[in-house]
Amino acid sequence: MKTAAAAAFTGGDLALAGGGLALPRSILDHLVSSISRFTSWHQGKEFDNQEAGHPLNLIISEEKRPVGENNELLSREIGFLTRYHAPIRRDGWQSLDDNDKVPLYELLKLKFNLDFAEPRVKGCVDLLFSSCYKSFRHRCHNHYLFHGGGETARANPYRPLAERVDDWIWLCDHFETDKYKKRSSTGKLNRSRLPYVHRKGTKSFVALHHELGCGEITLYKECNSNQHGWASADAMEKHEQMVAMQQQAVEDSETPLKEAKICEFVLCKAYGYIRGRGHGPKPNRRPISSTSSSAQQRRMEDELAATKLVITAHQATIESQQATIEAQQARLSHQDKRIDWLSSVMCKITGVTPPMDYFDAAGPGSKETPTNSSDGQGSLVSDGISWR
């Protein structure tokens, strides 16, 4: 029995919205054969509206990420489409052309109200597909390694590819190429250099920011800590530095720095993004020739103010560390004096005269000198106090 969505395709070729492009009959056949399997996979209440002919609405942020109540459902659907319907014999998502992607887009539109004429919507979907495609390829490789590679792995296809054995064999051959091995080694090396890994699982930072409605500094704490503590000491130190800069800016300026600017300064910029912010706000681009001199001056003033705050925070840290060192030195000096006194007492009790270099060990300038008491016993005078 055909679903309502499947029946909609039997009337002829499907025209894409806004483009006037009709899908070939071969692609339509693929869609019709896939819809029943696709629609029956989800039985949750979240798809009741879709079954009634009302696709779910989505909110796409400026960062091209889904936010709001249905954002996780979109990611889940794209993951399913990637595993069971995306072409496998490609180097990566960037290698797929429009003929490969359009059927996936149309299947996605059965569940969600998406307008691919909107650049932000298309960019969001492409980002999610690219991420899911990469993750699925990684899981396939792990399955290949789990079975030891070679013919044993080929004889045990990964479950989503159980009905596409030829695709699985192609993947196994792909995993054994020098090009893939080099790329895999490079990726493993880059991941090993990460100072820490956030603790929010698969939820995007953008979606979490929209959900919490908090500032960037609080968001950083939410993403890198939980009830068990911080992801690393480095993450905790960066958060403390951002909080210190924020407090210092409030004390020193009538117009404090924005949290986004503080995060950008502390976390540092990489090419096209801010470290530790995921798909969040992008760093300010270098001003172009048309930028006014006043805008350049404001930008430089902001950077100078941020630099001064960092220097102030570092100075406070150094002063605190210096005070700690001085306190430790005072405690050590007190302990040395107690040790000297105890040694002199032990010498008096046992009747053993300390060696000549004992007093030299106290170092230059020591005020401890041996004396003779009226009873003929030795005593030790330290800092004007006679210990008997």
Mean pLDDT confidence for 275-291: 47
What per-residue confidence (pLDDT) applies to 110?
92
Q: Is residue 316 part of a domain?
A: no
Q: What are the tokens at 70?
A: 């249905």
Residue 36 — very low, low, confident or very high, per pLDDT cuts 50/70/90?
very low
70 vs 26, which has greater pLDDT? 70
Q: Is 259 found in the same domain as 332?
A: no
Q: Identify whether 160 is part of a domain.
A: yes
Tokens read off for 183: 């790329």
Three-state secondary-structure class, residue 30: helix
CA 131 to chain centre: 15
Q: What is the pLDDT of residues 105-147, one digit of tens each?
A: 999 999 999 999 999 899 999 999 999 999 999 999 999 999 9
Contact 105, 27 (CB under 8 A): no
Q: Residue holding tokens 């801010």?
A: 274
Q: Is the same domain home to 132 and 214? A: no
The pTM of the whole model exceeds 0.75 = no
Is 318 within a domain?
A: no
Residues 173, 249 within the same domain: no
If asked whether residues 222 and 275 sit together in one domain, one would say yes
One domain for residues 64 and 139:
yes
State how beta strands 369-372 and 378-382 pair. antiparallel
Domain contains 53: yes
Q: Domain of 136?
A: 4-187
116: nearest Cα among 33, 3, 52, 21: 21
Cα torsion angle, 225, 230, 232, 235, sign:
positive
In a domain, 305, yes or no: no
In this structure, are 178 and 214 located in the same domain? no
| pLDDT tens column, 173-205 | 999 999 999 988 888 888 777 766 666 666 777
Q: Which of 65, 40, 62, 63 is nearest to 50 (CA)?
A: 40
Q: pLDDT (tens digit, 9 = 90+) per residue, 139-156? A: 999 999 999 999 999 999
Q: 97 and 132: one domain?
A: yes
Closest among 37, 50, 51, 60 to 112, alpha carbons compared: 50
The answer to whether residue 377 is domain-embedded is yes
Examine residue 193 and state whether it is found in any structural domain, yes or no.
no
Whole-Å CA distances, 59 to 63, 76, 200, 252: 11, 16, 21, 39
Largest CA distance in the chain: 123
List the beta bridge partners of residue 369.
381
Pair (179, 210) in one structural domain: no
Check whether residue 168 and residue 228 sit in a common domain. Answer: no
Q: Is residue 293 part of a domain?
A: no
Both tokens assigned to 198: 């956030």
Residues 356-366 have a mean pLDDT of: 49
pLDDT of residue 297: 65
Can you give the pLDDT at residue 246?
A: 81
Structure-block tokens of residue 42: 């989800």
214, 222 Cβ separation under 8 angstroms: yes
Domain count along the chain: 3
Together in a domain, 227 and 360: no
Ramachandran region, residue 66 (left: φ > 0; alpha: ψ -120 to 50; beta: rest): beta
The pLDDT value recorded for residue 387 is 44
DSSP symbols for 320-372: HHHHHHHHHHHHHHHHHHHHHHHHHHHHHHHTPPPPTHHHHTT-TT---EEEE
Contacts of 93 (CB under 8 A, 6+ apart): 126, 129, 130, 133, 134
